[in-house]
Amino acid sequence: MAVFRGDPCGIFCILLTYSAVSYADYVVIRHLIIPTMSESLIGAVNVVIFNVVIFLMVMSHLRAVLSDPGTVPIPKTSLDFSDVHNGRKMSKENGWTVCMKCETYRPPRAHHCRICRRCIRRMDHHCPWINNCVGESNQKYFIQFLLYVGIASIYSIGLVIASWVFDQSSDSGGSHHTRMVHSIVLVIESILFGMFVIAIGCDQMQAILSDETAVEQAKKQGSYRANLSKKDLLAEVFGKGSMCFWLCPFHSPPSTDEVTPDDLSA
């Protein structure tokens, strides 16, 4: 089920993201490859490779934005939480707790997001850059998006360097200065976005391998399952099939056997 949040900050970040991506693609093709590599096969190869990376980045971003992160369903019938309203803590034997904002039971590791206004399964954090929570069902796409942004950033800087190193033209007029300005802006953009996604990506991988989401780290709850191997933790996010699909935004993450609040209240 596709979702889209109406958060103004998130919508602005999405527009900023696609503006930056479009600008980078424009500069790479118009001001780097065409003036310096258009007469060789390597120019066409770089255009294809760079745009494949951009395509994978956009697809993984769209899936992270539009995928349900793992919203805990609201029960079909209202539940009686009068004891909780009176100050008594209530939890199920299997680790489910009560969310008083959603007025429902929620599974272990689920937390309430004040922006989405729902409880999210294995919620890590709410990210304005995808205008969505990073949770059980879309964390794979979020990490893919970070990876492809990082690759595009490094590739862009490499193309800037190559275009100036192998530039054989003697033109020092307006087009030369225009290309220099665009190259400088692209390098600054690539460094900023590259450093940003590397930091977040390392944080995400650390959270997965330690089996502790950002929310759990803030609460100092420790690792959720100490005996699970690193490979199993990664497979839980990216899928238990072939590792070739771990970087593919068209392959859905593994589904979990969902227990609904109605099952608990029965």
Q: Which residues are catalytic?
A: 127
Query: Phi and psi of 106, rounded to 5°?
Result: -135, 145
Query: Phi and psi of 67, rounded to 5°?
Result: -80, 145
Q: Are 247 and 147 in contact (CB under 8 A)?
A: yes
Return the C-alpha torsion angle 116, 207, 100, 8, nearest 10.
-20
Distance, CA of 198 to CA of 193 (rounded, Å): 8
Spatial CB neighbours of 46, under 8 Å, sequence gap ≥ 6: 28, 33, 37, 159
Q: Are 111 and 120 in contact (CB under 8 A)?
A: yes
The one-letter amino acid code at 222 reads G
Distance, CA of 143 to CA of 238 (rounded, Å): 10
Question: If 0-12 CB within 10 Å is exposed, 13-18 middle and 19+ buried, where does residue 128 land?
Answer: middle
Distance, CA of 258 to CA of 30 (rounded, Å): 49
The one-letter amino acid code at 202 reads C
Q: Are 131 and 5 in contact (CB under 8 A)?
A: yes
Task: Choose among 75, 105, 101, 108: nearest CA to 90.
Answer: 105
Both tokens assigned to 183: 């190259």
